[in-house]
Every structure is written in structure tokens, then in C-alpha cells.
Amino acid sequence: MVSVLHSDLITQGPVVDSFEQDFAQYIGSEYAVAVANGTAALHLSAMALDIGAGQTVITTPLTFAASANCVLYTGGHIQFVDIDPETLCMDLNQVEDVLKKSEGDAYTGVIPVDFAGYPVDLESLKAIADKFGLWILEDACHAPGGYFKDSGGTIQRCGNGRFADLAIFSFHPVKHITTGEGGMITTNDRDKYERLKRLRTHGITKDPELLLEDHGGWYYELQELGYNYRLTDFQSVLGISQLKRAEAGLQKRKDIAARYSTAFKNMPEIIIPKLSGQVSHAFHLYVIQVKERKRLYDFLRKQNIFTQVHYVPVHLQPFYRSLGWKKGDFPHVEDYYERCLSLPMFPTLTEEEQDYVITKIKEFFG
């Protein structure tokens, strides 16, 4: 970090390239493009997929609002589908039902979310998407290091580009890997990769092979309207450092999740996250579901245990209600929202601290 801060370039320099290469190798994708944050990654991906007026994209209401907002940024429309109450990811059967009812004509793409770190079965989703001519943009912000096993038993890491056209990640401080603020787009599509690099820098290129004219070494061209969504070199060197301990942090999250699950598995008052032998959950969040969520939240807060709710369903936010969505549209996600509570989950959580959380939750339920 100190070396980078003393170097000639602290932004738009070589360390950004190194971080992109290291991240692509970690995820298993061909290419990676570093950007300012996860929302910028979604926005640029929407642009690279040419989402525009008259196009409708399917996503889940159980996510941070940016997963849906990015479609509106570029003039498109959103169609929500309910979640699978077991995995908490979008229900792929409902995705197919929506497409069959319209024969796919109204829809151009789908944005699945690896919610809490549980990987979406992208192989199955890809089969549906191909049938109706849809692209896939995977929101993998919760799931770096997570994976599912495909029909052949091969491990498919979240964001590797095998089934999705693009995938996005966030490096916000609460995520697995942080650069303070930051994000990444991964893809196996060379053309989209090159376009994304232009879009994050105002739509400008200096690449001699892409220039329409060449006036000299200073010359550049703004070839389409882009944004200043760049990541700095000093953020990137922090990301490189974080990647070196990413697997250790992921394992610690899994260990914490296992201790919670063991503690609560015989308590009928608590629904714990469902696991499958076909997935490796990345455990960005450990979410329990309880009937007395508000009382438990307040009780734990008085004990200096700070839990959180992820998320208020997007379709119930005032802005999306103004677009016509209403309570009752998606009963599974609405039922989940009434009961969900995210417990402390981060690699530096000690066993003593976690035992305190477990003890107080058991105390609450008597």
C-alpha cells in the first residue's frame, strides 16, 4: 500500500490490472473489470447488455435494490418473481412460468442473486434462458468462493462465466473481500470485456486498434457515453491483499455457520439456513427465521448484539409501489421478511463472542 501511494500512478495504473487478473483467476473467469462499487458494476453491465426502453428483465425481490435499479437506469422495466422458500434464491419454476405465459416475447434477460451466499443453479437457469433467448447477469455479491455442482458433477464457481453472460461482485466493507468501496464484473466474453473497460472511463479509448483517427500520442476518442466508475490503484492493492486470505476468511464463515446450525438445529422456534450437498454456501449472511423477530431483535440489541434484516423486499419499497407492485404479490418473500434475522457473521468473530450470541438467543426462547 505504501509503495503504491509513493508510485507515479495511484489511479488508472498497473495495480488495477493485477487485481483484475488475480480476481479472474480466483473466480475462474476469463476476464474481470474493476469498478467503483457493486452498483456501478450492475449499471455498466446493464449498458453492456444493451438494456433499453421496451425491454423487461426478471429478478428477485429479495435483494438489495441495486439489482433491480440497474435495469431502470438504462430505461428498462422489471418483472419480479417470488423466491424458493428453501434456498431463498429466485424460484426457477416461477421464472419459467412467467416466460411461458408471455412466450418469452416481453423479456430479454434475467438477474439471479446468490442470496446470502447460496449459489443459484445457473445450469438450470441457462437452459430456461436459452429456450426463450434471454441473457443472464449473475449478482454474485454475496458469494465469492461459493459454487454449485452441475449435472456432470463439475464444480461451477459463482461468477465464473460458464453459464452467465456477466457476473458482478461488491467490495463493500461487509463483503468477503473489501477495497473500502469497489466492485468487479467478470465475463468470458472478450467483446463485452473491452466495452466495459471503455464504459467505466467515460466511454473513452486510446487503443490504437479501436481509434477511428490518430492525431498522435495524446489522442483519445469518446466513442460512446460512459461514466467515471474507475477503481484506484491503492484500493486495488488492498484487494490483492484481501484475495490472499479470501479462502481462509471463507472457511471461517463456514465454521461460524456450522456452530450456529449445531446450536439451533433442535430448536423448533428457529428455522436455520438449508444446505445441499450440491452447493458450497459462501455465507455472506447467516439468516435465521423466527416468529417473534422484532422482539428478538430488540432483546439482542439491549445485550449489545447487533443483528440486521436482509432485506425489505424491493417490490414493497415506496418507489416500486409507485410502479404498481403491492403487498401480496409475492407471498414467499413477504413471509420470509416477517421472520428473517441476520446474526453476526464475520471472520474476526471469536468463539467466545459467538457463544454469547447463542446463549442470549437461547435465553430469549427460554
Mean pLDDT over the full length of the chain: 97
pLDDT at 105: 74
Q: Is the pLDDT of residue 69 over 70?
A: yes
Q: Residue 317 is inside which H or E element, if any?
A: none
Query: Which pTM was predicted?
Result: 0.97
Chain-centre distance for alpha carbon 293:
25
284-307: pLDDT as tens digits: 999 999 999 999 999 999 999 999
- Domains of the chain, with CATH numbers? 2-244 (3.40.640.10), 246-364 (3.90.1150.10)
Cis peptide bond prior to 311, omega within 30° of 0: yes
CB 45 within 8 A of CB 59: no
CB 310 within 8 A of CB 340: yes
80-94: pLDDT as tens digits: 999 999 999 999 999
CB 103 within 8 A of CB 140: no
Amino acid at residue number 277: G
151-204: pLDDT as tens digits: 999 999 999 999 999 999 999 999 999 999 999 999 999 999 999 999 999 999
Task: Please name the residues in contact with 324: beta carbons below 8 A apart, sequence gap of 6 or more.
Answer: none
313-363: pLDDT as tens digits: 999 999 999 999 999 999 999 999 999 999 999 999 999 999 999 999 999
Residue 273 is classified by DSSP as P
